[in-house]
Amino acid sequence: MNAGPLAGLTVVEVGGFIAGPFAGQLLGDYGARVIKIEPPAGDPMRHWGVQQEGKSLWWPAIARNKESVVLDFKEETDRATAADVFSAADIVVENFAPGRLTAWGLDYATIAPRNPGLIMVHISGFGQDGPRANDRGFGSVAEAMGGLRALLGYPDRPPVRAGISLGDQVAALFAVSGALAALTERHRTGRGQEVDVALYESVFALSESLIPDYAIGGVTRTRTGSTLTGVAPSNVYPTRDGVEILIAANSDSLFHRLCLAMARSDLDEDPRFATHQARGDNAAELDGIIANWTAGLDARTVELLLDKHEIPRGRIYTPADILADEQYRARSMVTEVAAPGYPQPIPMPNIVPRFGRSPAEIRSGGPELGAHTDSVRREFST
C-alpha cells in the first residue's frame, strides 16, 4: 500500500517534458499510484540536463513513484490498452497538443461513459480553446506572454529568465490543485470533469496587481533589477568575507529593528526613511547605507545581529550551501533515492508539503523504460 493522503487513487500520466510529468510527480509524492505512459522512445526527460552514463540526473526525481508503461498510440491495440487504463483511473494528466487525444479516441468525451468519475487534466500552452489553442507553447513562451519576463532583469537590458523551468512548474502546481479541487467535487456528485490548465494563464495568475496598476493606476510595471519598486529595504547586501545576504526589513516595525541592529537610530527618524512610502522613494540611497554597514562585518556577525532583532534574512545559497545547511538537514529536505540503472543514490528535494497524520514517502526513483508494461497490460486488459 502507498503512503500519503492520496493513497488508493490511480493517476495516469501521458505526455512528456516538464509540466505534465511534474504534476504526476507531485500526485505520486502524495501517495497516488502513478502509471506513466511513454512512447517507445521514452520521455525526453530521460536524457535532459546533466547526465551520468547517458542518463539524466533529473529523471529519478521527476519520475519518482511512477510505473513506466510503453504504448505506441499509432497502434490500435496500444490505444485500446490506454483506453482500458484510462477507464480505471481516477485522474488522467495529459499535456499533448489539444485534439491529439480526440484523434486517438482517448478524449474525455469518449472515456467518460466508461468512467463517469474520471478527472482529466489538460495542460497545454494556450488552453483547449481560443484562437491560439492549437499553437505549440513551452513554459518559456508562457513566461513571456504571462507578463513575467517583462519584470525580470534590469530596465536597460533585455529580459532575463529564471534558472529553472518556472512556467512549466507553475502550470503543474495549478494542474495538481485543479485535480484535487475536482476530486473534492466528485465526492459530492460522484462525477468527474475536465480541468483545463494553460501555461500562459498559470504564469499570468501570479502577476499580482500588474493589470489594475496599469488599467486604473496608469503604471506599467517593468524590470527593476534586484529590487521591487516601492518596497525597501529588501535587497541583497555584501559582507566583508564575500557572502551575500538578503535582508527583508520593509515594514515600519522591521525597519525600526534594523536601525537598532545597525546602531543607526537616526535613520528611523530621518524623513527620507521614516515611512514605507519614503523608504520606497529613497530605496537606492537606503540600500547604499545598509550595504556600507554589512560590508564592514563578517557574514556571521551580520546574521547574529539580524537574528537578535528578529529581522528576516538569508544567504544567497548555492547547491553546496543547501547541502551544508542545518535547517535543510533537520527537516531532511534533501533526500537520497536509489533509481534503477544508476550506480549510486540520487540526491533530490524531499516531498513538500509535510502531512501530519498521513505522511507521504518517496517509494522509488524513476523507473526504467517500459518496466511495468507487461504487468499493467495484464491488470487492465478487458
Residue 227 located in a structural domain: no
Same domain, 262 and 369: no
What secondary structure, in 3-state letters, does 133-151 show? CCCCCCHHHHHHHCCCHHH
Report which DSSP code applies to 149: G
User: Is 290 contained in some domain?
Assistant: yes
**CA–CA separation, 126 and 226 (whole Å):** 30
Return the CATH number at 294: 3.30.1540.10
281 is catalytic: no
Cα dist. 148→208, 217, 220, 290 in Å?
11, 19, 13, 29
Range of the domain at 256: 234-318
Tell me how many domains the chain contains.
Answer: 2
CATH number for position 122: 3.40.50.10540
Please give the model's pTM, rounded to 2 decimal places.
0.95
Per annotation, catalytic residue among 43, 84, 168, 196: 168
Which residue do the cell numbers 485543479 mark?
A: 178
Q: How far, in Å, are 274, 280, 281, 289 from residue 286 at the CA level?
A: 11, 9, 10, 5
Per the CB < 8 A criterion, the answer to whether 63 and 337 are in contact is: no
165 and 33, same domain (yes or no): yes
Per-residue pLDDT tens digits of the chain, which is 382 residues long: 678 999 999 999 999 999 999 999 999 999 999 999 999 999 999 999 999 989 999 999 999 999 999 999 999 999 999 999 999 999 999 999 999 999 999 999 999 999 999 999 999 999 999 999 999 889 999 999 999 999 999 999 999 999 999 999 999 999 999 999 999 999 999 999 999 999 999 999 999 999 999 999 999 999 999 999 999 999 999 999 999 999 999 999 999 999 999 999 999 999 999 999 999 999 999 999 999 999 999 999 999 999 999 999 999 999 999 999 999 999 999 999 999 999 999 999 999 999 999 999 999 999 999 999 999 999 998 7
CA distance 228 to 245: 17
